[in-house]
């Protein structure tokens, strides 16, 4: 019996299959992760696009260092006059409630997805990029069957997917929005990917693709200029390394908000509960305290957090406006010990397809958090902050876990809880991901998964939790609201992977 080559977990079977194909063909974890990210732009198109950005946490085998590749979006270098900006609100229909998103050419920040993929490729990959993009090219050209979960997402953001003639032709052919069971094809995007594989990232930063994005922006009321693409740089950052119990976590550092807040929560947990497993109320109180420290704008944060390291990271968030929506994730560990944890986002997309190239730019300048609900007041040339949390966990036993999730401001609480389930409770990966979750909003509202509650907590804990909060929402089942943690683990010479069913995840050992 041949030895396994590795394990992959991601947000869709097609994404996992693309990474698995590259791993089987001799690629390492980084080749596989990049292949999966490109492929995710087809079946997970609401979350993922080469017009967006993200992060990849990389642990190369045989090296003591772990590095965070920051290729997230940043604000353009100059602003267009407000009366010339194409920027408008749409209402996304979540069923019981609606949420306003802002789209248009003026909502697009400078993307970094392509630049990041090619930088990781240059530093860490084995196979040529032309081979790495092949599964994504094939998926786009031959088509993928739309899952019920992604069809549901299509209905939520239908006003974005039908906002322009190009978007309608792609997502609503014949005037009817694609639905579950339909096949989504994008031949134009397949050609774009082939071009990138053949010509390299300069096609995107100064070539035909760059010119098309700039022309659209200038013609349609956006801010992007050629200099934005030429000047964009992928940042290599030292992870925020945090020890919890007998494990070390590599977390997304500032200017991302996720890592510092997760570290703060874990540190607080050890003070609240130095021994034994935390209860539901413990976790809820920690989430409330984390919300409070996140809102702190002045004073000595080290006295609040109890850690100069966390305080320094939190202080570094100032001036980096935050974006927190529309995310997907892939985790890969190979047989040599290479580990990749990568999260990407396109916001929800800005509603405009770029020329005849088959992709949509992000709408990250349409995030209200950028300027406390006041739009167009962002500072030029600034990396956006994010709640995305690609994470690696190494335990004293030698177990290595790569994990991450989508879920907006629920990302940090989802990662916190899965980490606690693995480290404090000693659960296996499947149970750690499936366990019921809770979340406390900045407003003080408590949400929890009531359906599977008894799988981890007692009725008494539920009653105490509900009593402690005035505003409570009990979700009857596991729900996409609480994120989708896709996790890969290497332990004792074997592999395990879990794609969170909350977000249609998948996993496989190759």
> Active-site positions?
327
Q: Which residues contact 25 (CB under 8 A, 6 or more apart)?
A: 127, 131
Residues 226, 197: Cα–Cα separation, whole Å:
22
Helix 459-468 / helix 280-295 crossing angle, nearest 10 deg:
30
CA atoms within 13 A on the CB side of 342: 34
State the sign of the Cα–Cα–Cα–Cα dihedral 169, 171, 177, 181: positive
Q: In Å, how far from its chain's centre is CA 48?
A: 9
Find, among 462, 490, 326, 481, the residue nearest to 398 by Cα: 490
CB-based contact 414:482 (threshold 8 Å): yes
User: What string of DSSP letters covers 116-166?
Assistant: HHHHHHHHH--S-HHHHTHHHHHHHHH-EEPPHHHHHHHHHTHHHHTSSHH
Strands 67-71 and 53-59: antiparallel
Taking Cα atoms as reference points, which of 62, 49, 42 lies closest to residue 187? 42
340 - beta bridge partners?
58, 332
Question: What distances in angstroms separate CA 232 from CA 76, 184, 235, 237, one per listed residue?
Answer: 10, 32, 9, 16
Q: Around 370, how many Cα atoms within 13 Å sit in the side-chain half-sphere?
A: 27
| Torsion angle, alpha carbons of 352, 47, 115, 101, to 10 | 50
Q: How big is the chain, counted in residues? A: 510
Does residue 233 sit in helix, strand or coil?
Answer: coil
Task: Give burial (CB, 10 Å; 0-12/13-18/19+) of 369.
Answer: middle
- How far apart (Å, rounded) are the C-alpha atoms in residues 373 and 366? 10
For 252-358, where are the E strands, in sequence order?
322-323, 327-334, 339-345
Token representation of residue 131: 């081979």
Residues with Cβ within 8 Å of 82's Cβ and at least 6 positions away in sequence, in order, are: 376
Q: Give residues with Cβ within 8 angstroms of 38, minimum separation 6.
A: 18, 50, 117, 132, 133, 135, 136, 193
For residue 252 the two structure tokens come to 């997304």
> Taking each helix axis from N to C terminus, what angle separates 308-316 and 258-272, rounded to the nearest 10 degrees?
150
């Amino acid at each position: 019996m041949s030895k396994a080559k590795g394990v992959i977990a991601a947000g869709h079977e097609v994404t996992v299959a693309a990474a698995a194909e590259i791993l089987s063909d001799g690629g390492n974890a980084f080749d596989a992760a990049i292949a999966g990210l490109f492929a995710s732009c087809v079946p997970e198109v609401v979350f993922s696009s080469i017009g967006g950005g993200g992060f990849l946490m990389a642990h190369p085998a045989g090296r003591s260092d772990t590095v965070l590749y920051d290729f997230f979006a940043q604000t353009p270098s100059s602003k267009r006059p407000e009366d010339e900006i194409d920027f408008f609100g749409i209402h996304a229909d979540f069923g019981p409630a609606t949420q306003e998103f802002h789209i248009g050419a003026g909502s697009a920040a400078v993307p970094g997805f392509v630049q990041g993929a090619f930088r990781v490729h240059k530093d860490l990959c084995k196979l040529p990029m032309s081979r790495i993009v092949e599964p994504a090219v094939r998926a786009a050209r031959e088509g993928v069957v739309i899952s019920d979960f992604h069809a549901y997402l299509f209905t939520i953001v239908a006003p974005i997917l039908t906002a322009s003639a190009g978007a309608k032709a792609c997502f609503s052919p014949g005037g009817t929005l694609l639905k579950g069971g339909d096949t989504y094809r994008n031949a134009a995007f397949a050609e774009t990917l082939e071009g990138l594989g053949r010509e390299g990232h300069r096609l995107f930063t100064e070539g035909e693709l760059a010119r098309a994005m700039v022309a659209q922006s200038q013609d349609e009321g956006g801010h992007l200029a050629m200099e934005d693409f030429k000047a964009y740089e992928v940042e290599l950052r030292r992870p925020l390394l945090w020890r919890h119990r007998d494990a070390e976590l590599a977390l997304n550092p500032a200017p991302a908000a996720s890592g510092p807040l997760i570290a703060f929560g874990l540190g607080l947990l050890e003070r609240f509960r130095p021994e034994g497993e935390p209860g539901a109320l413990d976790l809820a109180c920690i989430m409330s305290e984390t919300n409070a420290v996140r809102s702190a704008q002045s004073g000595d944060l080290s006295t609040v957090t109890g850690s100069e390291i966390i305080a320094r990271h939190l202080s570094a968030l100032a001036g980096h406006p935050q974006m927190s929506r529309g995310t997907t994730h892939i985790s890969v560990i190979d047989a040599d010990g290479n580990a990749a944890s990568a999260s990407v986002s396109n916001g929800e997309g800005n509603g405009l397809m770029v020329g005849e190239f088959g992709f949509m730019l992000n709408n990250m300048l349409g995030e209200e958090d950028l300027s406390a609900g006041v739009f167009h007041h962002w500072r030029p040339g600034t990396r956006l902050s994010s709640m995305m949390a690609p994470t690696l966990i190494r335990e004293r036993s030698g177990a290595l876990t790569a994990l991450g999730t989508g879920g907006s401001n629920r990302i940090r609480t989802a990662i916190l809880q899965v980490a606690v389930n693995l480290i404090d409770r000693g659960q296996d990966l499947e149970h750690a991901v499936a366990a019921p979750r809770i979340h406390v909003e900045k407003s003080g509202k408590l949400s929890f998964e009531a359906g599977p509650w008894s799988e981890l907590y007692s009725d008494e804990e539920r009653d105490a939790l509900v009593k402690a909060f005035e505003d409570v929402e009990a979700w009857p089942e596991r729900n996409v609201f609480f994120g989708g943690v896709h996790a890969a683990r290497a332990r004792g010479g074997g592999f395990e992977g879990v794609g969170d069913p909350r977000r249609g995840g998948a996993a496989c050992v190759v």
